[in-house]
Structure 1
Amino acid sequence: MRSVSVCGNGEGYGASDGDAGGAAETEISSLRGPYFDRSVTRNVTALVGRSAYLYCGVRNLGDRPVSWIRHRDLHLLTVGSYTYTSDQRFSTTHSPRTEQWTLQIRFPQIRDSGIYECQIGTNPPIGLPMMLTVVEPVTKIIGGPDLHINYGSTINLTCMVIHSPVPPPSIIWTHNDKEVNYDSPRGGVSVITEKGDVTTSYLLIQKARYTDSGSYKCIPSNANPLSVSVHIMNEKPEAMQRGNQLRIQSYTGLFVMTSIIISFFY
């Protein structure tokens, strides 16, 4: 057995130059005992209904067990690869190559939010707490549920997706349950989507017509769909102009008739 001494500068002696550093590190690591890899994410956000994963990296574990505990009720969830709760949504997988113990929560709900602790069975035990936040993305349409738009103006429908850990991969717009066609002969229809902590999709329809009335639905791929009713108001400009001319003619005729009646009596 090769003996290795370690000096204050971290250099090893009594080994060949090629493996001195690695041997010294192995000796120090084995003397240290089990410890956590603290580079893993300790604040995890998951979507309602989509599996959540908490990753726990352990070094120098040896034959000691790794457990997962839920803090809110101090409930023991798993020990090693065995599940110790009647809630079968919880399970643990172990990757020997990465020395990683992963707690999986299938179909998580808002109530599953809270602190979970990865614990090594030393004496006394040592633990690494992690915070799980389960969110349900929310869809909002500005100005809904009813929008009144003047004939000939631009319809601007603004759909926002909030509380989503990641932007929705896609957002679909429908009009009266048919997907909006941005290349239709009608023309003047476009969409702009800005992704971020809050994802916003703008549906723009120029020169609003009566046929543009109806139900519009914003359908994000990772959130609830939401509808808005669009009502096109006022008459067509040419109809309004003809109507004004008819009213002017009626007022003129009435004025002439009134003048004749007054002249007759006086």
Structure 2
Amino acid sequence: MADLNGEQHYLGLITKETTSCYRIGDPVIPDHQLDAVLESQGFWELPYFENSTKREITATVGQPAYLHCRVRNLGDRAVSWMRKRDLHILTVGAQRYTRDSRFQALHQDGSDEWTLRIFSPRLHDSGTYECQVSTEPKISQAFVLDVVVSRAQIVGNKELYVKSGSDINLTCLVLEAGEPPSFIYWYRGADVVNYSGRGGISVLTDRQTRSSQLLISCAQPHDSGNYTCSPSASDAASVMVHVLHGEQPAAMQHGKGNLNKVISPSTSSVSLSSQSSNASSLKYSLQTHSLQLIAFSCHLSLLLTWIFMLKLHNDDTDENETKRFFENISDIT
């Protein structure tokens, strides 16, 4: 083993296994005391990285990102963090060497871990970062950071039609989240869904699966509105819910023998093409009814005219003429 001056030294029989270095009369040093003896005599092993840390990190925009670097046998050498894309030194030891205050080095005395923390990371912070040790030559370990935009997604279409008295069942998933959300709130319009103001409302949130389910039982028309799922540090998602009372549109009907079965997100969906087709059919139906109403008005006007003319007849109008009069009216109407 060489000391700091490059001279080779033998420590005698350090352990029972190193017989090739043994000289008669050298002491036997137990294994558990070896590190202390090396340190007391000025000998150190070279630093090396511990490979148990995660090297590929996914962080969410706005949420702190942590890059953990563990260095063994560091001695009096310094650990620095460098951004690979522009070779910019971010930190040396516990000191920050960049004007960007979002970067900070974390280290506890006596610990082998040197952590780079990035407050509120942005998309352009994605890339490779190096943990470096000031040996000669310098050694480094690369970490890849991927900063993503977390977003919510409500399962199903952007619009949901339910029949009055049925249940509203909405499921929200949080996608591209580096860590589980701290919370997931549900809104109707601009207001948080009020659990106490109306019975029959429940929310089941699972942070580990990053999901939340909103259930509103026995929905009424006043429950209609724009429902929004808003997780922490994620873009929100919304769905428009229509609770209809009475006769249902064709878009809500499903199956031949059951015209009142409402299509829910878990069974089927209302496509844009079917909505367009239903709108065309409704328009045609209204036009047909309008024409029928106009024809009926004409017939009624003609009938009133004949009745008025009838009153102008003399009392001696014979029975046959009156009969022919009403037959004419029947033919017209």
**Residue 14 of structure 1 aligns to which amino acid in structure 2?**
P
Matches within 5 A, 1:39-50: 39-50=52-63
Q: 1:146 to 1:31 in 2, by over 3 A?
A: same
Report the TM-score, using the length of structure 1 for normalisation: 0.75
Question: For residues 205 and 115 of structure 2, what CA distance do their matches in structure 1 show?
Answer: 35
Q: Which amino acid aligns with 1:189?
A: I
- Identity over aligned pairs, percent: 41
Per the normalisation by structure 2, the TM-score is 0.61
Query: Could you say which residue in structure 1 is the equivalent of 2:101?
Result: 88
Post-superposition shift, 1:15? 5.1
CA distance in 1: counterparts of 2:152 and 2:65, whole angstroms: 22
Contact residue 62 and residue 233 of structure 2 kept, 8 A: no
Matches within 5 A, 1:7-156: 7-8=16-17, 14=27, 20-26=30-36, 30-156=43-169
Aligned residues: 237
Ranges in structure 1 where 5+ consecutive residues have no aligned partner? 238-260
Secondary structure at 2:34 match in 1: helix
**Distance 1:89-1:177 versus aligned 2 partners, 3 A rule:** closer
Higher Cα Rg, which structure = 2
Contact 1:150 1:234 in 2 (8 A): yes
How far off is 1:103 after superposition?
1.5
Equivalent pair of 1:68/1:79 in contact (CA under 8 Å):
yes
1:234 CA drift (Å): 4.3
Contact 2:44 2:73 in 1 (8 A): no
State yes or no: 1:191 paired with 2:200: no
Shift of residue 7, structure 1, vs aligned partner: 4.0
- Counterpart of 2:31, as a letter, is G
Query: What is the identity, as a one-letter code, of the residue corresponding to 2:203?
Result: V
Distance of aligned partners of 1:140 and 1:82 in 2 relative to their CA distance in 1, 3 Å threshold: same
DSSP-derived class of the 1:168 partner: coil
Question: Contact conserved, 2:151 with 2:237, CA < 8 A, in 1?
Answer: no
Greater relative CO (CA pairs within 8 A, separation 6+) = 1
- Going from structure 1 to structure 2, the CA distance change for 1:93 and 1:191 (only over 3 Å counts) comes to closer
Is the aligned partner of 1:235 residue 2:246? yes
Aligned-CA RMSD value? 3.3
Structure 1 residue 66, shift from structure 2 partner: 1.5
Q: Which residue of 2 aligns with 1:213?
A: 224
SS for the counterpart of 1:32 is coil
